[in-house]
Amino acid sequence: MIEEIKRVARQRLAAEGANLSLRAVARDMGMVSSALYRYFASRDDLLTVLILDGYNALGDAVEAADAAVTDRTRLRARWLSATRAVRDWALANRAEYALLYGSPVPGYAAPQDTIAAAARTPIVLAAILTDGYAAGIVTAAGFRRPASLPAAVQADLSRTRDQIAPGLPEELLHAGLTCWLQLFGVLSFELFGQLNNVIDARAEFFGQQMELMADLMGI
Amino acid sequence: MIEEIKRVARQRLAAEGANLSLRAVARDMGMVSSALYRYFASRDDLLTVLILDGYNALGDAVEAADAAVTDRTRLRARWLSATRAVRDWALANRAEYALLYGSPVPGYAAPQDTIAAAARTPIVLAAILTDGYAAGIVTAAGFRRPASLPAAVQADLSRTRDQIAPGLPEELLHAGLTCWLQLFGVLSFELFGQLNNVIDARAEFFGQQMELMADLMGI
DNA sequence: CACATTAGAGAGCAGTGATCTTGCAAGAGT
DNA sequence: ACTCTTGCAAGATCACTGCTCTCTAATGTG
Cα angle B207, B146, B122 (rounded to 5 degrees) comes to: 50
> What is the widest separation between alpha-carbon atoms in chain A?
62
**B132 in Cβ contact with B168 (< 8 Å):** no
Instruction: Work out if A16's Cβ lies within 7 angstroms of strand D.
Output: no
Task: Say which residue, A106 or A117, is predicted with more confidence.
Answer: A117
Determine whether the interchain pair B205/A19 forms a contact, defined as Cβ–Cβ distance below 8 Å.
Answer: no
**Alpha carbon separation from A133 to A138, A166, B94, B107, B212 (Å, rounded):** 5, 11, 39, 47, 22
User: Measured CA to C1', what is the nucleotide nearest A46?
Assistant: D18
Q: Average pLDDT of A175-182?
A: 97
List all nucleotides in chain D with at least one atom under 7 A from a protein Cβ: 8-12, 16-22
Contact A108, A145 (CB under 8 A): no
Whether the per-residue pLDDT at B105 is higher than 90: the answer is: no
Q: Tell me which residue of B182, B80, B94, B76 sits closest to B131, measured CA to CA.
A: B76
Q: Per-residue pLDDT tens for A76-90?
A: 999 999 999 999 999
| Chain B, nearest residue to A98 by Cα | B103
Judge if ipTM > 0.95: no
Q: Is the Cβ atom of A30 within 7 Å of strand C at any atom?
A: yes
pLDDT for A105 equals 73
> Do B193 and A144 contact (CB within 8 A), yes or no?
no
Residue A15 has a pLDDT of 84
Tell me the per-residue pLDDT of B54-97, one tens digit each, with 9 for 90 and over: 999 999 999 999 999 999 999 999 999 999 999 999 999 999 99
Higher pLDDT, B100 or A108: B100
Type of residue numbered A127: A
Separation in Å, CA of A19 to nearest CA in chain B: 8
Contact B189 A184 (CB under 8 A): yes
* Per-residue pLDDT at B176 exceeds 70: yes
CB contact under 8 A, B104 and A192: yes
Report the percentage of chain B scoring pLDDT > 90.
Answer: 74
Q: Are B164 and B119 in contact (CB under 8 A)?
A: yes
The stretch B141-170 carries a mean pLDDT of: 85
The closest nt to B26, taking CA to C1', is D9
Is the Cβ pair B184, A198 closer than 8 Å?
Answer: no
pLDDT tens digits for A19-62?
Answer: 889 999 999 988 898 899 999 999 999 999 999 999 999 999 99
- Give residue B143's pLDDT band: very low, low, confident or very high (50, 70, 90): low
Q: Do B209 and A181 count as a contact with CB atoms less than 8 A apart?
A: yes
Residue A185 is predicted with a pLDDT of: 98
| A43 CB below 7 A from strand D atoms | yes
The more confidently predicted of residues B145 and A116 is: A116
- Looking at chain A, the whole-number percentage of residues with pLDDT higher than 90 is 76
Q: Is the pLDDT of residue A145 over 80?
A: no
Chain C bases having any atom below 7 Å from a protein CB? 7-12, 15-21
Cβ–Cβ below 8 Å for A17 and B107: yes
Q: Residue B146: pLDDT above 70?
A: no
Residues 2-61 of B with CB within 7 A of strand C: 20-24, 27, 33-34, 37, 41-44
- Secondary element (H or E) of residue B2: helix B2-16
Q: What is the mean pLDDT of chain B?
A: 91
pLDDT at position A146: 60
Partner residue opposite B153 with nearest CB, options A110, A115, A199 = A199
Distance CA B155, CA A165 (A): 39
Q: Crossing angle, helix B75-92 and helix B94-101, to 10 degrees?
A: 110
Judged against a pLDDT cut of 60, whether residue B181 lies above it is answered with yes
pLDDT at position A162 is 95
Distance CA B131, CA B67 (A): 13
Pick the residue of A103, A160, A206 with the most B CBs within 10 A to test the interface with B by mutation: A103
Buried-exposed string B109-139: b where 16+ CB fall within 10 A, e elsewhere: ebeeebeebbbbbbbbbbbbbbbbbeeebbe
- Asked if pLDDT for residue B145 goes beyond 60, the answer is no
pLDDT digits (tens, 9 = 90+) for B13-48: 888 878 889 999 999 988 898 889 999 999 999 999
% of residues, chain A, pLDDT over 70:
95
Residue-level pLDDT at A120: 97
A16 vs B contacts (CB less than 8 Å) = 106
B45-60 per-position pLDDT tens digit? 999 999 999 999 999 9
